[in-house]
Structure formats: C-alpha cells, structure tokens
Chains A and B, each alone.
Chain A
Amino acid sequence: MPRVSFTANLQRHVATPTLEVEAKTVRDALEKVFAASPRLRGYILDDQGVVRRHVAIYRGGEQAGRATLDDRVEAGEEIFIFQALSGG
C-alpha cells in the first residue's frame, strides 16, 4: 500500500500520522487520510479542494501533478506532503 507522510512543520498545527492506505492515485490516498483526520483537509487543500499554493506533494521522490492529483501510485510508494519555507 502507498504510504502517506507529512512534513513535521505541519504537526505543530494538526496531527499528521503516517498512514498506509489503499489507493490508486494521489487523490485517493489523500482522501483516505482526510477521512481518518478530517481537520487535515483544510491545511492541504483550499476551500475549492485545490492544493494550497505553497504546499507541495511528492510521489516516489518526484513532484506530483497538482491540478487533478490523478498521478497513479504504486504499492509501497511514498507520498510526502510538505511546504515551501519563506518569510521572515
């Protein structure tokens, strides 16, 4: 099963357990995680369900497509969600 994990920078705001989920696409995997942790959805996606501008999603070490999140994921593959660091 794909494994979904999150940047530690998110964990000070909301619980982000690393989960292994049954999923065929990045969006499937995220929906499974959001089902387990509903509060997390608003941190990753905006009001319209679009990936927040400064959030990045990597799949198997490469950036996943943001628009539809329909990149396929393989069993054992890692999906990692993190954010750009900026500001002062």
Chain B
Amino acid sequence: MTNRLLVATRKGLFEFERAGAGWRIAEFSFLGEPVSMVLSDRRDGATYAALALGHFGVKLHRRERAGPWREVTAPAFPTAAGDAKATSVALLWSLESAGPDRAGALWAGTIPGGLFRSSDRGESWSLIEPLWNRPERQQWVGGGYDQPGIHSIVVDPRDSRRLLVGVSTGGVWLSDDAGASWRLHGHGMHAEYLPPDRADDPLMQDVHRIEQCPAAPDTLWVQHHNGVFRSTDRATSWATITAIRPAKFGFAVAAHPRDPMTAWFAPAVKDECRVPVDGAVVVARSRDGGASFDVLREGLPQRDAFDLVYRHGLVVDDTGSCLAMGSTTGHLWISENAGDRWTLVAGNLPPIACLRFA
C-alpha cells in the first residue's frame, strides 16, 4: 500500500503520509522556495528536489533514505565563450531514474530543452549533445514558457538504453542507445492550430505529457495541446483518442502500472481558457484503450472551481488503485479506488507543480 506522497509546490516541498483513514502533512522542506520537480528513487531510497530560485537559479538537493537535505549539482549548459546565444538552465522540468541496472544514474530535462545525464546521483551532469545538436532543435519553440523544454523522460523497463523524451513543443524523441543517437516519432499526431501543411509534422507537436504503461512499455499515452493520443508500438504510430470527455485539452495523464488499456486525464476547457469545464473539476478515465471514458466527479468540486492540473500533477501508485491529483489552486485530492471517489486532502497549499508517490 502506498503510504507517502511528495508534493512539490511553488512554495515548498510537502510530504504527506497515510494516517489512519486519511492523509496528513508529515513534514515540509524548502518552505517559501519554488520546487519544480521531485523524485523518489526506489533504487537507493534517495529523494531529489529541484528548486527554481527566482534570483539565484536552479538548484538540486538530495536526501538519503534517512538524513538531511544536501545540495548537489544542478544540470548546467557548457560554457560557450563568445556565443551570444549560449544558454542557461531556467527550470528543471523532469527528473527520472535511468533504470534499475544503472545504479545512481539519473536523467534530467530542462527549460530550455536540454537533456542531461548524471552517473553519480546528481554530483555531476553532462548535456546529451546528440539531442541538443540536432538541427531540428532550432524549430522547437516555447509552449507556455518562453523557451521549449523537456517535461517527460520515459525509460523502457526492458532495456534502460531505450528512452523517449517529450518536448513542449518539439515532439517525441527516441533513443535506443542511451542518448547517443535520436529520432523523431510522432506520426499520427496532429496540431490543429498550425498551418495545414505543418499540422501533421511530428516536429511541430506540442506534447504536454507522455506516460507509459510499465507492464506493457510499448503502450504510451499522450496528453497533447489539442487532444489525446495513444501508441501501442512504442511511439512509431499514434492514434487519436476522440472519446475523451469533457474536453480534449489538458496537461496531465497517468497510465495504469499494469493495464495498458487504462489511463486517467485531467481535462480543461481549452488552450486559451485553462479552467475546468463548467466550473467542475473532473478526472477522465478510460479502461478500454481510449474507446470510451468515465468522467469521475465524486468528491471533486462541481461548481465555481477554477483549478488547473499541471503536467506532473496527476499520479497513480504501483497498485493502480491509489491516485493523487494536485492543482494550481493548491488543492490536493487522493482517490483510493482508481478515481471512483476522491477526498480533498489539503485545500490551502501553494500552486502544485509535481506529485510523486514514494
């Protein structure tokens, strides 16, 4: 049973634990500081928290299974003397374990769109230059932020050399050799807001979030800027999921850990009006591969609600039955029955950026 939930917010990291029939805040860290990403590394029990200090840049902290937080090294772009376009990390937007056979190795995605690898638990990082140097990267553009970024990093549990990243905006990129070479996979995706001759271009897709089914890693779900897509062939082709309700816009998706037919979404009205449809917070769940959706409302506010769920704000645990959802309005809900019924766990948190079950 899942007993601990990490909640990264605009003003600190809050750790909730199961207490009796409910959940309560067990501890908090970095109070007042923006925490953009958190990772609980099951390989060694470490926890990582990325800060986006407005004045002082992006920082990364690590905590051992028991012990205090300690600052380690945040990813940084190589110094390029004389290059006026040389860049700096503005946000650490994704952070993942590099696989069970790569002890201590981590992947991090940033804004702007850099992918970085650490082999020593965040003590040092290197930019994955084969992706950074792809000429297509010049066509990546910011989606919501001024610069494009990597928000999803998916490692294949069958082979940790195989990974996939999602770029907003810049499509879905795959590597089979731990980042040494890359190819773009987005056939079947469609960007309806682009000129018709570019709308189907895989490079132009604004993928908001990618999740894989860990037990069936060829199955991927994407919440895209203008719809939901699903692949069953490891991103080679994508099918449009038209049954999503009550709206096709959103940021978050959570894929069931064992059932490749099940996933959850948190829809919002549309891109230029990022609030719940009719003021009602809902979760859309499909159990049949996207052919149909249940719109789950029980326990969620059904009037006058203006919550938005960011792309890392909806998660499911290893059992597939416990879900957590956090909003930019600082509401945190948990469901213990696959989304059928939700309970408000906290209603006055800072805006929530990322949730992780630990």
A83 to B56, CA, bound (A): 8
B315 → chain A, closest Cβ, in Å? 27
Binds A, one of B80-88, B259-267, B301-309: B80-88
Question: Contact between B79 and A48 (Cβ–Cβ < 8 Å)?
Answer: yes
Interface range for A:
20 to 34
Select B71's contact among A14, A48, A50, beta carbons within 8 Å: A14
Q: B59 interface residue, CB < 8 Å from A?
A: yes
Question: Contact between A52 and B86 (Cβ–Cβ < 8 Å)?
Answer: no
Question: Contact between A13 and B59 (Cβ–Cβ < 8 Å)?
Answer: yes
Question: Contact between A48 and B86 (Cβ–Cβ < 8 Å)?
Answer: yes
Select A49's contact among B53, B71, B79, beta carbons within 8 Å: B79
Q: A17 interface residue, CB < 8 Å from B?
A: no
A58 to B56, CA, bound (A): 17
Q: Could you list 27 examples of A-B contacts with CB < 8 Å?
A: A9-B55, A13-B56, A14-B71, A39-B71, A42-B59, A42-B74, A43-B57, A44-B56, A46-B57, A47-B76, A47-B77, A47-B78, A47-B86, A47-B87, A47-B88, A47-B89, A48-B79, A48-B80, A48-B87, A48-B88, A52-B55, A52-B56, A55-B55, A83-B55, A83-B56, A86-B54, A87-B54
Question: How many residues of B are counted as interface, with CB atoms below 8 angstroms from the partner's CB atoms?
Answer: 17
Given contacts A13-B53, A13-B56, A54-B55, 9 further A-B contacts (CB under 8 A): A14-B71, A43-B56, A44-B56, A46-B57, A47-B79, A49-B79, A55-B55, A84-B55, A86-B54
A50 to B57, CA, bound (A): 12
Interface residues of A in 4-60 (CB under 8 A from B): 9-10, 13-14, 39, 42-44, 46-50, 52, 54-55
A49 to B55, CA, bound (A): 15
Which residues of the other chain, B, contact A42 by a CB distance below 8 angstroms?
Answer: 56-57, 59, 74, 76
Interface residues of B in 18-57 (CB under 8 A from A): 53-57
Select A48's contact among B53, B56, B77, beta carbons within 8 Å: B77
User: Which of B54, B55, B59, B77 has the most A CB atoms < 10 Å from its CB?
Assistant: B55
A13 to B79, CA, bound (A): 24
A21 to B16, CA, bound (A): 46
Question: Contact between A52 and B77 (Cβ–Cβ < 8 Å)?
Answer: no
Residues of B within 8 A of A (CB): 53-57, 59, 71, 74, 76-80, 86-89
A14 to B56, CA, bound (A): 11
A55 to B78, CA, bound (A): 21
B357 → chain A, closest Cβ, in Å? 28
Residue of B nearest to A43 (CB): B56
Closest 7 CB pairs of A and B: A47-B88, A46-B88, A83-B55, A43-B56, A54-B55, A47-B76, A47-B77
Which residues of the other chain, B, contact A49 by a CB distance below 8 angstroms?
Answer: 79
Which residues of the other chain, A, contact B54 by a CB distance below 8 angstroms?
Answer: 54, 86-87
A13 to B54, CA, bound (A): 13
B162 → chain A, closest Cβ, in Å? 29
Which residues of the other chain, B, contact A39 by a CB distance below 8 angstroms?
Answer: 71
Which residues of the other chain, A, contact B74 by a CB distance below 8 angstroms?
Answer: 42
Which residues of the other chain, B, contact A10 by a CB distance below 8 angstroms?
Answer: 56
A66 → chain B, closest Cβ, in Å? 14
A25 → chain B, closest Cβ, in Å? 18
Which residues of the other chain, B, contact A54 by a CB distance below 8 angstroms?
Answer: 54-55
Which residues of the other chain, A, contact B88 by a CB distance below 8 angstroms?
Answer: 46-48, 50
A13 to B59, CA, bound (A): 10
A31 → chain B, closest Cβ, in Å? 14
